[in-house]
Amino acid sequence: MAASKRSGLLIAAAVAAAGMGVALVVGRPVTAQQPAEESYGISMHAFTDSRGVTVLSPSGELSRDFTTRTGLRASFGVDAISAASDSCIRCHPDGAYNARAYVNASLFRKYGDTKVSVGGEFSREQFYTATTGSTSISRTLNQANTTIAGGYAFSLNQPVLHPSEDVARQYAHSAFGTVTQTLTKGTAVQLGYEVSRITGFQNNVFLRANVDGVRMLGNHPELRLRHSITAKLRQALPGRMYLEADFRRYQDDWQVRANTWSAGLSREVSPQLTIAGVYRRHEQTGASFYRPVYTGQPEFFTADFRIFPFDADLYTGRLNFTPKQGLMAFRQGTSLTLQYEYYRNTTKFQAATVTAALRVPLKH
Amino acid sequence: MPRLVRLAVLAAVLSVSTLLTACATVQPWQRGRLASPCMQFSPDGELAAFASHWQESREGAAGGNSLQGGGCGCK
């Protein structure tokens, strides 16, 4: 079984490499003009948390326009988990290596002020495979001061019921709509709504709930309807500073309710250097069937920490550097982003991530 | 979510979107600061995707970042 999983990861990596290769070959431009956003990027994320879990995530992405109306966005990456995930470590305190490989791509085409895109994502890791197809459409109105967008995605998620080899199925349908509006020369807002309907197996096979003193696999409902409403503001301030403020209200029919807001300031120190700091606050209630300890014979019970009640804080610092003459051997216009994030929540969980990302224009 | 709340949300979104389209027009030559990367709602897709991925592996709430992939087993 281990060999088949390794070969699965190899297949996923091969699909990712093939996807990028096809993108590079097919992406030969047929027009002389190259939009400035054409680029490729490489990133490295390092994650560590208070349980000793570490994750290294190298990734690559490509943004390529075939014509002035048609283009491709693709990315792939690997999450190399050195000490097992938070769930695994409960049974494997010495660590259990895992890795997740993913590849996604979307093609878009513009028809006047309307843009249509179609894409998909495939990811695979030990005990989990996810396949997603998505489509979206957007249109600019009012002399490009208004943009309306909508989209739909379908995901088939297939967890392996570890330690058995049985595979369960979960289906997720999601749809979203957004309106983005320029209000003044320095103010823009965006309102959005997203709904998801998830059916099928929704337990976490790695977590055990305490039911009458017995550790048991959780039992979640097989239907979940999720809603989120978002409001985002971007405001230019004097002194080359910018304010960002986001709010999200989330609720679902498992009675999880959450308010998440964030506020941040960024400053263009020079044409080459931008710094930013963001604070994010998340407060959520637990699912209706959540209990610290279960007694009797509850219909539903859970040990999934994601649907416990808790509050969380996230602090982000970011620096973006775009040297005039290019960076090292990379061409002019190359930018380097360095980011640090610190996360903590009231379940005594803490995590930190460090990111270094390089974005290189395909032509300058 | 009760049907009434759903209808209210839909009506609110439609109303706001209709109202917003009637806002004063900002001309292309007035958009210098609006074009700054700091004004973008999703300035870096890769960074945003990584952040939402690990946050959703810790939090029960999701959404609001347009559509995501199919998730992972770490959830």
CA distance B18 to A100: 43
Count Cβ atoms below 10 Å from residue A247 Cβ, excluding itself: 15
Please write the tens of the pLDDT for every residue from A69-108.
999 999 999 988 876 555 666 677 776 778 899 999 999 9
Count Cβ atoms below 10 Å from residue A103 Cβ, excluding itself: 23
Residue B30's closest chain A neighbor by CA? A185
Average pLDDT, whole number, for chain A?
86
Res. A124: pLDDT tops 90 = yes
Q: Which residues of A touch B30 (CB under 8 A)?
A: 185
pLDDT > 90 fraction of chain B, expressed in percent and rounded: 5
pLDDT > 90 fraction of chain A, expressed in percent and rounded: 68
Nearest to B69 among A123, A148, A227 (CB): A123
Nearest to B38 among A87, A242, A307 (CB): A242
A155 and A130 Cβ atoms separated by less than 8 Å: yes
Lowest mean pLDDT segment, chosen from A269-273, A312-316, A329-333? A329-333
User: What would the mean pLDDT of A348-361 be, rounded to a whole number?
Assistant: 94
Handedness of CA A160, A164, A165, A170 (dihedral sign): negative
First CA to last CA distance, chain A: 49
Asked if B69's CB is within 8 angstroms of A130's CB, the reply is: yes
Nearest to A190 among B38, B41, B68 (CB): B41
pLDDT at A31: 31
A121 closest CA partner among B67, B63, B44: B67
What domains, with CATH codes, occur in chain A? 2-235+246-260+288-312 (2.40.160)
CA torsion, points B55, B60, B66, B69, in degrees to nearest 10?
A: 80
Asked if A159's CB is within 8 angstroms of B72's CB, the reply is: no
Q: How many residues does chain A have?
A: 364
A143 and A131 Cβ atoms separated by less than 8 Å: no
Q: Which residues of A touch B63 (CB under 8 A)?
A: 174, 176, 194, 196, 226-228, 230, 248, 250
A148 and A138 Cβ atoms separated by less than 8 Å: yes
Residue A233, CA atoms < 13 Å, CB-side half-sphere: 14
C-alpha R_g of chain B: 18
Which residue type does A278 have?
V
Backbone φ and ψ for A281, nearest 5 degrees, come out as -120, 130
β-bridge partners, A251: A227, A257
Please write the tens of the pLDDT for every residue from A139-196.
999 888 999 999 999 999 999 988 888 999 999 999 999 999 999 999 999 999 999 9
SS3 sequence, B17-42? HHHHCCCCCCCHHHCCCCCCHHHCCC
Hey, of A142, A321, A350, which one would you mutate to test binding to chain B, going by the most B CBs within 10 A of its CB? Answer: A142
Q: How far is CA A109 from CA A63, A71, A180, A309, A321, in A?
A: 14, 7, 20, 43, 31
A284 closest CA partner among A250, A244, A261: A250
Lowest mean pLDDT segment, chosen from A27-41, A218-232, A334-348? A27-41
At A1, the pLDDT band (50, 70, 90 cuts) reads: very low
CA distance A304 to A246: 27
Q: Using DSSP, state whether A1 is helix, strand or coil.
A: coil
B43 closest CA partner among A266, A142, A354, A132: A266
Q: Which residue has the tokens 């309807």?
A: A225
* A52 secondary structure, DSSP code: S
CA angle (B37 as vertex; B36, B39 as ends), nearest 5: 70
pLDDT at A2: 42
Please write the tens of the pLDDT for every residue from B16-44.
665 555 566 888 888 888 999 899 987 67
Res. A32: pLDDT tops 60 = no
At B58, the pLDDT band (50, 70, 90 cuts) reads: confident
